[in-house]
Amino acid sequence: MNDLPRNSPLPFPPPLAGEGRVGDGTDADARPVFARERRVLGIAVSTWPSIIAPIAIGILMLAAWEAIVRIRGTPAYILPGPLLIGQTLWSDWGTLSESLVITLRITFGALAAAIVVGVALAIIFTQSKWLEKSLYPYAVILQVTPIIAIAPLIIIWVGDIGLSLLICAWIVAFFPILSNTILGLSSADHNLVDLFKLYRADRWQTLRYLRLPAALPYFLGGLKISGGLALIGAVVAEFVAGTGGSASGLAYRILESMYRLQIPRMFAALFLISASGIAIFGIISMIAHFALRHWHESAVRREN
Amino acid sequence: MSLATAGTPGVRPLVSIRNVSKQFANGTLAIRGVDLDLFGGEFVSLLGPSGCGKSTLLRIIAKLGQPSAGTVEWPTSTHSASGEAHPDLGFVFQDPTLMPWSNALKNVMLPLTLAGAPDGEAQARSAEMLALVGLKGFEKSYPRELSGGMRMRVSIARALVTRPKILLMDEPFAALDEITRHRLNDDLLGLWWQNRFTAVFVTHSVFESVYLSQRIVVMAARPGRVMADLKNEAVYPRDALFRTSAEYAHLCRVASETLKQAIAA
Residues in CB range of A56: below 8 A, 6 or more apart: none
What percentage of chain A reaches a pLDDT higher than 70? 85
What is the structure's pLDDT at A22?
Answer: 46
Contact flag B191-A191 (C-beta cutoff 8 Å): no
Q: Which of A248 and B250 is assigned the larger pLDDT?
A: B250
The pLDDT tens digits for B164-210 are: 999 999 999 988 888 888 889 999 999 999 888 999 999 999 999 99
Q: Say which range, A121-135, A205-219, A288-302, has the weakest mean pLDDT.
A: A288-302
Q: Do A18 and B136 touch (CB under 8 A)?
A: yes
* Contact state of A17 with B131 under an 8 Å Cβ cutoff: yes
Q: What is the Cα–Cα distance from A127 to A122, expressed in whole angstroms?
A: 9
Residue B60 pLDDT? 93
pLDDT tens, position by position, A58-77: 999 999 999 999 999 999 88
At what angle are helices A82-91 and A263-292 packed, to 10 degrees? 90
Cα B175 to chain centroid distance, Å, stands at 16
Parse chain B into domains and list their residue ranges: 14-53+66-88+213-265
Distance (Å) from the alpha carbon of B10 to chain A's nearest alpha carbon: 30
Residues 6+ apart with CB under 8 A from B258: B218, B227, B228, B230
Upper half-sphere CA count for residue A22 (Cβ side, 13 Å): 10
Give chain B positions within 8 Å (CB) of A13.
189-191, 193-194, 237
pLDDT of residue B213: 93
Look up the pTM and report it: 0.83
**What mean pLDDT do residues A12-40 have?**
56
Query: For the ranges A15-29, A133-147, A233-247, B238-252, which has the lowest average pLDDT?
Result: A15-29
- Chain A residue closest in CA terms to B130: A17
How many C-beta atoms surround the C-beta of residue B15 within 10 A?
25
Q: Omega into B111 within 30° of 0, i.e. cis?
A: no
Closest to B225 in 3D by CA, of B252, B262, B175? B262
Q: Where are the domains of chain A?
A: 81-292
Q: What is the ipTM of this complex?
A: 0.90
Quote the CATH superfamily of domain A81-292: MetI-like (1.10.3720.10)
Q: What is the pLDDT of residue A3?
A: 43
- Chain B: closest CA distance from residue A47 (Å): 23
Average pLDDT of span A28-41: 66
pLDDT at A260 over 70: yes
Q: What is the pLDDT of residue A303?
A: 60
The whole-number pLDDT of residue B81 equals: 77
Closest CA to B160 of B110, B233, B215, B221: B110
**Minimum-distance CB partner of B115 among A19, A199, A214:** A199
**Contact residues on chain A for B186, CB-CB shorter than 8 A:** 14
Q: How many CB pairs under 8 A join A and B?
A: 113
pLDDT in tens, B97-114: 999 999 999 999 999 999
Low-confidence ranges of chain B (pLDDT < 50): 4-7
Residues with Cβ within 8 Å of B101's Cβ and at least 6 positions away in sequence, in order, are: A213, A214, A216, A294, A295, A296
Determine, for residues A210 and B193 on separate chains, whether the beta-carbon distance falls below 8 Å.
no
Reported confidence tier of residue A1, pLDDT bands at 50, 70, 90: very low
